[in-house]
Amino acid sequence: MLAALAQETRLAVFRQLVEAGPAGRAAGELAEALGCAPATLSFHLKELSNAALIEGRQDGRFVIYAANFAAMNGLLGYLTENCCQGQAVAECGGPPHCEPAPAVPAAEKKHPSGLLIGRRNIEAIVSRERKSRD
């Protein structure tokens, strides 16, 4: 997930979709807002979709993309839990004071798409990304 957001254009697309909310935006609107060629945008949408950060749905002849808020919240929860031992960054003083939290089983939630959101799911995604880089 983090690797998908590490690229500037994908991060801009994801920001647009988060701002759009659950209603999402059509691919053409995104391309126009970002000044991005349709083929380039298509590639970035595919990468974000493969990382489970966005979801696309057909609406007539248009594809509407929306941020996957459950996956985003799962990632934020995982990072907060494991970076700052469950405290917000402002409470723990930020990265210099953060220690990895001990492994504590996290409750898993099932997203309507069937995607499991929780620590094990995030760890599996991170593990797959690491293996693909090696």
pLDDT at 106 over 70: no
Tell me the pTM: 0.62
Tokens read off for 123: 């760890």
Residue range(s) occupied by CATH 1.10.10.10 in the chain: 2-67
Mean pLDDT across the chain: 78
- Asked if 58 contacts 72 with a C-beta cutoff of 8 angstroms, the reply is no
pLDDT at 15 over 90: yes
pLDDT at 83 over 90: no
Q: How many CA within 13 A on the CB side of residue 32?
A: 5
- Banded pLDDT at 97 (limits 50, 70, 90): very low
Options 3.30.379.10, 1.10.10.10, 3.30.160.270, 2.60.410.10; CATH for 2-67 is: 1.10.10.10
pLDDT at 87 over 50: yes
